[in-house]
Amino acid sequence: MDAIAVRRDEQRPSVIDVPIPEADAGEALVRTLRVGVDGTDQEVLRGGHGEFPEGEDHLILGHEAVGVVEDPNGTRFEEGDVVVPTVRRPPNGTNAYFERGEAHMAPDGEYHERGIVGAHGFMAEYFTSPEEFLVEIPREQAALGFLIEPISITEKALEHAYASRSAFEWTPESAMVLGNGSLGLLTLAMLEHVHPYERTYCLGRRDRPDPTIDAIEALGSTYVDSRETPVNEVHEVHEGMDLIYEATGYARHAFETIEALAPNGVGALLGVPEPWEFEIDGGTLHEEFVLHNKALVGSVNSGVDHFRAASDTLAQLPEEFLDSLVTGVHTLDDLESAFADDDTTIKTAVELSAYEER
Ligand code: NAP
Ligand code: BGC
Ligand code: ZN
């Protein structure tokens, strides 16, 4: 079967031929429909994040998949069920994080991530998965089911951010998303349509006309250009934010968020930057944290419950927004477009097979 992989010493994806995987006991065989591409895939291609499977010279890409159960192989699924796989797998048998369903909280070495860290991904015509890592979704979500994994990332991050504000009465009104990539825009749409924010903002570094700025404004949100208003001045130019969601991977934003938060606010950090040394005023930031009861939470990956919540969330996002977000669904003969990293591309997916309802 065809699969899309990055080979060692290469930085672009190639189509390779690999055998159709065989499902072990407890695993289902899934025919892949579509697999989304995000900033992490670009980082994996550039060699900035992730790891090849042990002893191998290529990594099959893709962690945002949706597929159809081809062979349930004795699992709870039926042929034709539409499913989305979670990303993490245990590296050597199971461990305590996986046993309690919290693989998303496992530290380095206690997980592989399919398509990212140490395990092949889902960008192949078929994949297998243990049934506990497959989440069934409604058939009408087959076309956009590749958005469930990224939405689940935000479900987890918001759960953790809100948990940090649960010891007192917190009634957030303002929220800012840092980053107008696909994760940032999906999150902005969630804050507008699923969460109760009265005012939302989204930070980028682009000139108009730009499709992400159009999407931000169509959502009813305010675009903030970081070249005019750096994050640590946002509270002076606009307002202190009750919630900040960092999705730029720009390391300074982690620290500038502390200043941009309103008293009692919380920042969720999602970006995965590479090493970068710079100066900060640690004393002022430390004081700001303490005297204004601020919190920062880091968050990575997501679990089965976050995937379920993400499917409900996807159903609540407006169709016009989703149409503007997904700028292309490409077959294997147009990988160039699927992995384009330019200003006209927001979210793309690779289509491995077409969905036909049985
Ligand atoms: P992406 O498409 O690369 O988006 C990043 C966006 O941030 C881009 O639109 C970029 O703008 C913008 N940006 C970068 N630096 C900026 C700056 N200084 N000022 C204003 N805007 C800036 O990536 P993504 O898929 O949306 O993901 C966002 C980040 O989250 C990545 O670092 C990714 O690795 C990470 N991530 C983490 C998790 C997790 O579990 N923690 C999950 C998914 C993704 P331009 O396009 O104009 O350069
Ligand atoms: C994926 C997560 C993964 C993270 C770090 C993200 O793009 O969506 O599942 O945990 O990258 O590798
Ligand atoms: Zn991702």
- pLDDT 10s digits, 286-303: 999 999 999 999 999 999
Domain segments of the chain: what residues?
Answer: 2-136+318-351, 154-298
Q: What is the mean pLDDT of residues 343-348?
A: 98
Question: How remote is the CA of residue 300 from the centroid of ligand 2, in Å?
Answer: 6
Report pLDDT for 114.
99
Q: Residue 177 and residue 202: Cα distance in Å, rounded? A: 5
- Within 8 A by CB and 6+ apart from 94, the residues are none
pLDDT of 358 over the 90 cut: no
Q: Of the residues 153, 186, 248, which should be mutated to test ligand 2's pocket, given the most ligand atoms within 8 Å of the CB? A: 153
Closest ligand 1 atom number to CA of residue 231 = 19
Question: For all residues of the chain together, what is the average pLDDT?
Answer: 98
Q: Nearest to residue 141, comparing CAs of 81, 199, 90, 183?
A: 81
pLDDT tens-digit series, residues 191-201:
999 998 999 99
| For ion ligand 3, residues whose CB falls within 5 Å | 38, 40
Choosing from 205, 223, 226, 345 the residue with most ligand 1 atoms within 8 A of its CB, the one to mutate for a pocket test is 205
CATH number for region 154-298: 3.40.50.720
Span from the CA of 298 to the centroid of ligand 1 (angstroms): 15
Distance 167 CA to ligand 3 centre (A): 31
Nearest CA to ligand 2 atom 10: 301
> pLDDT tens across 92-102, in order?
899 999 999 99
C-alpha to C-alpha distance for 115 and 122, rounded to whole angstroms: 7
Give the per-residue pLDDT at 356.
86
Q: Which helix (H) or strand (E) holds 261?
A: strand 261-269
- Where helices occur in the chain by DSSP H, the ranges are 39-46, 96-99, 148-163, 182-193, 211-218, 234-237, 252-260, 282-291, 304-316, 319-325, 335-338
pLDDT surpasses 90 at 60: yes
Instruction: Kindly give the number of the ligand 1 atom that is closest to the alpha carbon of 180.
Output: 9
CA 156 to each of CA 10, 162, 197, 297: distance values in angstroms, whole numbers, following the listed order: 33, 10, 18, 11
| Interval between CA 42 and ligand 3 midpoint (Å) | 10
Mind listing the pLDDT tens digit for each residue in 247-267?
999 999 999 999 999 999 999
- For 137-179, what is each residue's pLDDT tens digit? 999 999 999 999 999 999 999 999 999 999 999 999 999 999 9
Answer whether 2-136+318-351 and 154-298 agree in fold.
Answer: no
Ligand 1 centroid to 220 CA: how many Å?
A: 21
Tell me the pLDDT tens digit for each residue of 214-259. 999 999 999 999 999 999 999 999 999 999 999 999 999 999 999 9
What does the alpha-carbon distance between residue 65 and residue 260 come to, in Å, rounded to a whole number?
35
How far does residue 72's CA lie from ligand 2's centre (Å)? 27
- The CATH homologous superfamily to which domain 2-136+318-351 belongs is Medium-chain alcohol dehydrogenases, catalytic domain (3.90.180.10)
Q: Which ligand is nearest to the CA of 43?
A: 1
What is the pLDDT, as a whole number, of residue 357? 77
